[in-house]
Amino acid sequence: MALIRDIVQKALRTGYLTVEAEDQLRLLLTTPYDLEDLNAFMTLQEAAMSGQVRQESREQLRRIKPSCV
């Protein structure tokens, strides 16, 4: 199974976080992880909030309910 930091690196490199990657992150965050993975996840959160990384799930929501997201 991939590490959190691997998923984060791909999202940062591509500027895009897929729904599948989000699901993987949710699963990985329920298992033991190290400080490097935690820091990577926080970096991803900051990148998503600043618009550096787009989230497929949010884009899907916008298509369904444009005024809600």
Rounded Cα–Cα distance for residues 59 and 29 (Å):
23
Torsions phi, psi for 37 (to 5 deg): -65, -40
19-38 mean pLDDT: 97
18 — pLDDT class (breaks 50, 70, 90): very high
Specify the pLDDT at position 1: 65
16 has a pLDDT exceeding 90 = yes
Helix (H, G, I), strand (E, B) or coil at 55: strand
4-11 mean pLDDT: 98
Q: 34-67 in b/e burial notation, b at 16+ Cβ within 10 A? A: eeebeebbebbeebeeeeebebeeeeeeeeeeee
Question: Is there a contact between 53 and 15 (Cβ–Cβ < 8 Å)?
Answer: yes
Indicate the domain borders of the chain. 4-64
